[in-house]
Structure 1
Amino acid sequence: MPKGKAAKGTKVTLKIAKKAIQMTPDGWRRLTLSNMGITIFPKCLLKLSNVDELDLSRNLIQKLPDNIGNCLSLRWLDLHGNKLESLPESIGNLVGLTHLNLSNNHITSVGLPSTLGSLTNLKSLNLGMNRLDTLPLTMVTLKSLQELGLFDNLFTELPEFLKFLQNLIKLNIKRNPLSYVQGVAEGMLKEKLKPEEAAYLVHESSLCRTCHKRYKEQRERLIRGTDRGGGGSNVFQEKGIRTYPGLIVPNSVATVSQDVWRVRKVEHEPIK
């Protein structure tokens, strides 16, 4: 859309929307209506049955239509940078969604419907920069979820159901008033850590060849107790440190992040 018109808040009609649909390199039909000063969700978009990806980010939308769930073709929805305070129940009908970005809005915990738990195909959910202190317990059913953004919210502790999201590999909890951090990889960390002390864990399959080699060499030295001419004792066993197959020891060759922690699913055996 022309920038001049976008600055004034272009009125989106069905004709304009259809002309704006573009094909992505992956073969999906994408409609981008970002940064156009839109204040009311264009209801004409509900008539589009062939849009896979919809970008309405950086607008001034305060409310989604109650029948937003009729957009069944959507697999990717970006609403970040608006003024949303709540989501309609019908959003749970968008079962084809794999990516949902709701960051930088005014959404409260009361405004999150329990129907979010119906979006079982979600792989990425961004709820950062809102006003959340809890999440619907129904979200425990989001077994496909890999990335979850909760940064810049009001959480004092993390929801316990996160430990059951077995495919969760990235969790961003920056800038929350957390009293302690609960571990997802172990079910829960026994030692209650402050947010800035959270460890950065990554599966060995994510390392480059050089880092993987360094990790294996260091891990072998530690396990065999031969580092710097040490004996054959197992330092992990002697110190009672719990180890996990495939996970790098925190604060070793893995990069330490002071307020972001990532975990990768351990395929070798479930963590109890």
Structure 2
Amino acid sequence: MAKKKGGPKGKKITLKIAKNSIRITFDGKRRLDLSKMDIAVIPKCLLKVCDVEELDLSRNLIRKVPDWIQRFQNMRWLDLHSNQIEKVPESIGQLQNLLFLNVCNNKLTAKGIPIELSQLKNLRQLNLGLNTIDALPSTIGALKELKEVGLFDNHLTAVPSSILKLPKLKKLNTQRNPIPPTEEEMKTEQQEIIRRVKALYLVNKKDLCSPCVTKCQIERSKLKNMATLSTRSPLFSNLIKPNSTAKQIQSSGGVKILKV
């Protein structure tokens, strides 16, 4: 008889283990820390401690977040990073007190991001980095309290304008996405090449000491590499530069876009 296929069984978490894993944070909140415990399935016994304000299930083997997560009505902080989650449940939109949500380093795609995420009206920080997301629902623009958004290491080819228009956004990380460079970005790179070329002086090699010859050879090699790169259209851009819409936001709201 063929064996049934399935994921890792993981460690079984009992109510006693859960209660013993509750800690008090520096500001007096109750945090249930079940991180790094090889959990594959979130046990339903956690409903007995659903009054906690913070829940850490990071660095486990979790593939699915149950719909009953909505019962954690006091929760303000939810950390699910470094698991195997493919979909965020629609019921997460019922967590109206949630301020922090981290689902970084999972297996999320565009289909795994529900439009109900837009119901988290008080959300301040959202981390979706290190997934395979190539598009985001425009409804994320409804999260008016968002201050930090992590979208790094995904498959995005553009940053949704709805995110750039968030009124309180201060930090947006889009590093290592296949976002094409803007005309302004290409122009700046070419100007840098010209500036460096103008700073060179022609001298005879025999008039230079050995360390200076080595330094000149290194600089010449760098210039050749920059010239080669400027003639290509790179598939990956480490960071987008703000377009006209983003610049307006920066002048009014102060959006900070991270650089490598």
- Superposed pair shares fold, TM > 0.5: yes
Q: One-letter code of the match for 2:85?
A: L
| Matching of residues 121-200 of structure 1 within 5 Å | 121-180=122-181, 193=185
Q: One-letter code of the match for 2:154?
A: N
Aligned to 1:101: 102
Q: Relative to structure 1, is the Cα distance of residues 270 and 170 closer, same or farther in structure 2, using a 3 angstrom cutoff?
A: closer
1:47 to partner: Cα distance: 2.8
Gaps of 5+ in 1: 1-7, 182-190, 198-257
| Matching of residues 113-128 of structure 1 within 5 Å | 113-128=114-129
Aligned to 2:20: 19
Q: Relative to structure 1, is the Cα distance of residues 268 and 104 closer, same or farther in structure 2, using a 3 angstrom cutoff?
A: closer
Q: One-letter code of the match for 2:18?
A: A
In 1, the alpha carbon distance for the partners of 2:39 and 2:140 equals 30
Q: Relative to structure 1, is the Cα distance of residues 73 and 100 closer, same or farther in structure 2, using a 3 angstrom cutoff?
A: same
Gaps of 5+ in 2: 1-8, 190-237, 255-260
Larger Rg: 2
**TM-score, normalized by length of structure 2?**
0.68
- Give the SS at the match of 1:151: coil
Residues 139 and 162 in structure 2, CA contact (< 8 A), matched pair in contact too: no
Aligned to 1:66: 67
Aligned to 1:33: 34
Which stretch shows the higher mean deviation, 259-268 or 144-153?
Answer: 259-268
- Give the SS at the match of 1:77: strand
Residues 10 and 41 in structure 2, CA contact (< 8 A), matched pair in contact too: no
Aligned to 1:205: none
CA RMSD of aligned residues (A): 2.7
Q: One-letter code of the match for 1:124?
A: Q
Q: One-letter code of the match for 2:96?
A: V
Q: One-letter code of the match for 2:140?
A: M
Residues 132 and 153 in structure 1, CA contact (< 8 A), matched pair in contact too: yes
In 2, the alpha carbon distance for the partners of 1:121 and 1:141 equals 10
Q: One-letter code of the match for 2:158?
A: E
In 2, the alpha carbon distance for the partners of 1:47 and 1:60 equals 22
Structure 1 residue ranges (4+ consecutive) displaced by more than 2 angstroms after TM superposition: 191-194, 258-271
Q: One-letter code of the match for 1:66?
A: D
Residues 168 and 265 in structure 1, CA contact (< 8 A), matched pair in contact too: no
- Give the SS at the match of 2:185: coil
Q: One-letter code of the match for 1:193?
A: E
Relative to total residues, which structure has the larger helix share, 1 or 2? 2
Q: Relative to structure 1, is the Cα distance of residues 53 and 264 closer, same or farther in structure 2, using a 3 angstrom cutoff?
A: farther
Write out per-residue CA displacement over residues 79-126 of structure 1, whole angstroms, 9 at most, x where no aligned residue: 000000001110100111100000000001011100000011111100
1:264 to partner: Cα distance: 11
**TM-score, normalized by length of structure 1?**
0.65
Q: How many residues are aligned here?
A: 194
Write out per-residue CA displacement over residues 202-229 of structure 1, whole angstroms, 9 at most, x where no aligned residue: xxxxxxxxxxxxxxxxxxxxxxxxxxxx
